Amino acid sequence: MVVVPDIRFEDLKTSTLTMMVYSNINIDLKRMYDYLPIYEVDVPLTKKKHYPDVRKIVAPYGSIISLRYIDDFRGVISKPDVIVKRDLRDKLYRKEQFTSNDMDTIRSYGRKELKKHRKNHTHDTAEHTDDDLYEIGVKYLTSVQHFRNQVTCIVTLANNKKVNIMVFNNSYKIVGCRSEKQAEECIMILWEAYIRNFPSMWTKLDTNPPRFVFEKVMINIGFKLGFHIVRSAFNEILNDTKYRNVVHISKFVSTGTTSVNTKFYPVHPADFAYYCLEYPKWEDTVQPTFIRLTANPYQGKSRPKKEKDTTVLSFYSSKIIMSGRYMKSLRDVFLFLMRVIRDNKDVVAERLVSTDVPFVM
C-alpha cells in the first residue's frame, strides 16, 4: 500500500534564494573594483579540473575573497577560463601567433559550440575538420558578451558560507543565500564595512538616508515523496482540463528529460510589499531599521515585466523541486500537488522506497 507522507509546507526549508536589492546609492564600479580590500587566502583546487574550490576556502566572517570586473580579477580567480578566453581574444585582436596549445583550446570551444548547435539541430550530422572547429571557436571568442556595468564579489558569511553578489550602479543581485537574513547580512557587510568608507566611490541619488530595498526574484524549495513517481502518468493527470485554471502547461518527454516540467500560473499577492533596510543617518554607524514600502522608488522606469510562472520539476526518484517568486504561490502549488498526488496515489506512485522527509537541496 502506498503511503503519501504528511508533509507540512511550513516545515520545508528554502534551498536557495535569489534576491535583488535596490538602493539610493550610486556606485562607481571601476573604483569599487580598484579600492575594496581583498582578504588573501590559500586556494584549494577541485580534483578534476583543478579549478578554485570556493566552498572549501577558509576566510573570516565579512571578508571579500574575490572581485571581478569585466575580465579582470582581484583575489581568487573564481573562473580561470575567463582569463584564458580574455588572453586568447587579446592575441586574436593583436594578430599574434597562436601556440599549438592555443589552437587546441580554441578548437575545444568550437567543439562545445557545435555540440550545443546539434542538440537543437539533430539533422546536422556533417563532419567538421580541425579548421572548421577553429573557425567556430574564433567566432565564439569574438561574440562573448561582457558585463561592463557589473562587479562580482564573493563575501564570506558565518560557517564559512560564500555568497556571490553582483553589484550594479544602484542595485545588487545576491545569489546562493539560504534566507532573507543572509541577504540582509551581505548588504550590511558591503555598506558598513566597505562602501561607506570610500566616499569617492559613491554618490547619493536623493536626500533620504541610505536605503536598500529588497525584492525576492526566485525561491527554490525541494522535498521528497518517499516513492518512485510514474512521470508519464503524473504528467497526464496534470494536463487534465479540470486543472487548466491552475496549470499553465506540463511537459514530459521520456527520451529527452528526467523530470516532469510543470508551469503554474503566478498569483501576485494582494498584500505584497517591499521591505527596506534604512540607516537613520548618512554619517553615523547606527543600527539600521526596517520599513515597509508599497512601491520601489529605486527600481527605475523600465517596462513592466510579465509575472513568471511557478515551476515544478518532478523526478522519478520522488524528488520534487519548486521554484517561484512568491512564497504564497509556492505554498498554494505545494498544497495543490499534494492533493492531486493523494487523489491519484495508486497511479502516480510506482512503489514505496522511503518515508524520509522532507528533502532539502
List of long-range contacts for 278-282, beta carbons under 8 Å, 24+ apart:
278/208, 278/209, 278/210, 278/211, 278/212, 279/191, 279/209, 279/210, 279/211, 280/209, 281/209, 282/204, 282/209, 282/210
Structural domain boundaries, residue 86: 80-143
91 in the same domain as 186? no
Task: Please give the pLDDT value at position 96.
Answer: 93
Which residues does the chain have with pLDDT short of 50?
A: none
Residues 340 and 248 in one domain: yes
Give the pLDDT of residue 50. Answer: 83
CA distance 353 to 361: 19
Residues 41 and 135 in one domain: no
Torsion of CA 74, 80, 85, 91, to 10 degrees: 70
Q: What is the pLDDT of residue 44?
A: 92
Q: Can you tell me the distance from the alpha carbon of 10 to that of 221, in angstroms, rounded to the nearest whole number?
A: 11
Q: Are residues 65 and 154 in the same domain?
A: yes
Q: Which set of grid coordinates corresponds to residue 239?
A: 494536463
Domain shared by 229 and 109, yes or no: no
Pair 87, 130 in one domain: yes
Could you read off the pLDDT of 293-349 as tens digits, one per residue? Answer: 989 999 876 656 678 899 999 999 999 999 999 999 999 999 999 999 999 999 999
For residue 319, give the CATH number of its domain. 3.30.310.10
Residue 190: left (phi > 0), alpha (psi -120 to 50), or beta? alpha
| 75 within some domain | no
User: What nine digits make up the cell of 12?
Assistant: 520545508
> Residue 40: inside a domain, yes or no?
yes
| Exposure string for 6-22, b = 16+ CB within 10 A, e = fewer | ebebeebebbebbbbbb
Q: Total domain count for the chain? A: 3
In this predicted structure, what is the pLDDT of residue 301?
67
Looking at the structure, do residues 180 and 326 belong to the same domain, yes or no? no
pLDDT at 270: 86
pTM (2 decimals)? 0.85
